[in-house]
Amino acid sequence: MRQITTIMGKLLKILPIYEFEKLEKQYRSNHYTKYYTGWQQLVTLLFAQIAGHDSLRAIQTSLGVHSNKWYHLGLEDIKRSTLSDAMKNRPYQIYEGLFYKLVHFRPESVVHFHRVRREVA
């Protein structure tokens, strides 16, 4: 079976998971969580941003339609109430801390983007 790396997979490789897990432990974000972890919420938010969804209903519907493609990321069928509770109860400082880690984090595996010269016709 062929393995195809998706844009989402490449994007998630850039994120330092170990730093995110340290932030989750620091803020105890998964303390009362049954199955929807902070990492799953981050994957959901990245997907929603890439797909251009701006409502919980749109996120839930889109993830539900493609649920068989998300198993490798650990995502299952997520209900709107679970998304809402996670957005309300999980501390934002985790994602803020991840942002600041990314600003100072420069892995060699990240593709460096260069300017593309346009040829004027």
**pLDDT confidence band for 7 (50 / 70 / 90):** confident
The model's pLDDT over 67-110, given as tens digits with 9 standing for 90+, comes to: 777 777 778 778 899 899 988 989 999 999 998 888 876 555 44
**pLDDT confidence band for 66 (50 / 70 / 90):** confident
**What is the average per-residue pLDDT within 2-24?**
81
**What is the average per-residue pLDDT within 105-121?**
50
Would you list the domain boundaries of the chain? 7-104
User: How far from chain centre, in Å, is Cα 8?
Assistant: 8
The model's pLDDT over 19-44, given as tens digits with 9 standing for 90+, comes to: 999 999 999 888 877 788 899 999 99
Distances (CA, A) of 81 to 44, 56, 84, 105: 14, 9, 5, 34
Distance linking the first and last C-alpha atoms of the chain:
43
What was the pLDDT predicted at 5? 63
